[in-house]
Chains A and B, each alone.
Chain A
């Protein structure tokens, strides 16, 4: 194949420059600034900063509160990822089997995708309203004294439910297109080879969906860790004291409510490292093993 080339070296540079500048200004510069300020203790009133070395990090690692938030974030991420993937897969498998009215049905299932996280949080607030929220009433009917924003477990439950609800459509779209890209004849061959529908799903359909599922796993972990900020913010009603929060939310609370920019920067740097590990994990360990062709 003939490779197209530029005659001058300046044109490609000029074409790349805007994108590179956006990345540099909005991603690398703040990241570098966070790394730098994580080694300083900032004066809360902005009068200056003192170099403290790795003290911000050692403080964090010894901090009981930080450990508690990290543990909650882990559980939260596992729950959100698991339920949003599992429910979306179930819905996709069922929607794939629908023949009449399939388009309308699928569109309805995707609708929630268009809702912004804080709005999803507000809708969650309505559902979990103390006096007339239908979900609160349902939980209370089962004998659970549900108190959003006042009780740790109640808030945690609401956070998981809203985050899962918001994420299902994304996963649904990917799973559905994954299912539809499995060759029809392969499924038919399985139909002749195995009379059990469950068996066919786990032996043939699911392995062929694995690349999609793995991609979604990473997307969902990232979502639960970082993108649920709006939902958390709305549901804890700016009262992070007696409510569960995630690591990302704690960065915000400590930095902008507590004015501890140094400590908050150190937390950001740890999160950046976490993303790095996730990315390496995605590309090195699993992605190349899970593709078949």
Chain B
């Protein structure tokens, strides 16, 4: 178990493409950190640099007290779970799990004991003699997990491990991985593009965009105080409503007819991006804000109203017991839960 420190770690490819801009993060011992972002944002590259599968162009990477920049992957005392599991197709489940230990010179009895223990934790006891091709997707996922835990690593690395599973299995494995990681107390870095996975599993989330860290924070911090419009739009489904408003005479003007009934911030710019989470908006009110509802999405637990507020797209999430119809709908915007962003840079104000 170890703390992981990234000190201005950077990745530039020979063709000049900067996949990861210099980034510094400290991951305390035992924490599960999720790297999240759209595809191509550099999250996998960052993970692969920590694993040693990709060279670090610049900067320093520490696992525990040691600088591991130049260490082989096998010497970093890490375990990685790959997206397509990367099991050895010619080895049985037991051999797959024991292979790493065998190469470190563990005794047969020790390997056997650890494999049995991992198989017990992961309910794989009946499958130890099977080949990966004889297993279902979920079982292969478990074997990949087993291969990671038998090594007793200082650091777990997960590269989108659940993206090949169906939705139901994914929810189940999500909980299993999280509880396993907490039980073992091993530091973990988890890459995903799925913001639900990020929110539910992480101790802390690192949001990446175009090779740059947009924000680091706990799921609550990220959700309640997104540092930029990118984070605000990426985390949360449906995403935060972002409205462009002009500041005129201390008031927020959505269009020539529509005023936004919230107090304007003191700004040097003459316009601002105003954000509201769909679930913070209430139905009813004094009629100062009217949502032109076009589509109603029924999700069971909640209902989503999609429409326009003063010509700009706007969504509202309402409880299943509330009633709404297509057409004009009076809504109340929250006075306290309102987010302001810089109109050009998109940064939080």
Contact = CB atoms under 8 A, between A and B. Distances in A.
B166 interface: no
Interface range, B side: 20 to 34
The A contact surface, by secondary structure, is: helix
Contacts, number: 65
B82 A193 contact: no
Contacts of B88: 186, 189-190, 204
B53 interface: yes
Given A189-B82, A192-B78, A195-B103, A208 B73 contact: no
Contacts of A190: 88, 99
A193 B88 CA distance: 11
A112 to B, nearest CB: 32
A195 B72 contact: yes
B84 A183 contact: yes
Interface in B70-127: 72-75, 78-80, 82-84, 86-90, 99-100, 103
B334 to A, nearest CB: 46
Interface in A262-293: 292-293
A188 B133 contact: no
A140 interface: no
A210 B103 CA distance: 22
A220 B45 CA distance: 43
B190 to A, nearest CB: 16
Nearest to A194: B103
Contacts of B52: 191-192
B74 A194 contact: yes
Interface range, A side: 20 to 34
Given A185-B84, A188-B82, A193 B100 contact: yes
Contacts of B84: 183, 185
A293 B88 CA distance: 11
Which of B83, B86, B87: most chain A CB closer than 10 A? B86
Contact of B99 (A185, A195, A196, A203): A203
B51 interface: yes
Contacts of A194: 74, 99-100, 103
Contacts of B51: 188, 192
Contact of A196 (B53, B86, B90, B103): B103
Interface of B: 51-53, 72-75, 78-80, 82-84, 86-90, 99-100, 103, 131, 133, 147
Interface of A: 183, 185-186, 188-196, 199, 203-204, 207-208, 210, 292-293
13 contacts: A186-B86, A188-B53, A189-B80, A189-B87, A191-B52, A191-B53, A191-B74, A194-B74, A195-B72, A195-B103, A208-B89, A292-B89, A293-B133
CB-based closest 10 A-B pairs? A195-B74, A185-B86, A193-B100, A189-B86, A292-B89, A194-B103, A207-B90, A192-B73, A185-B82, A293-B133
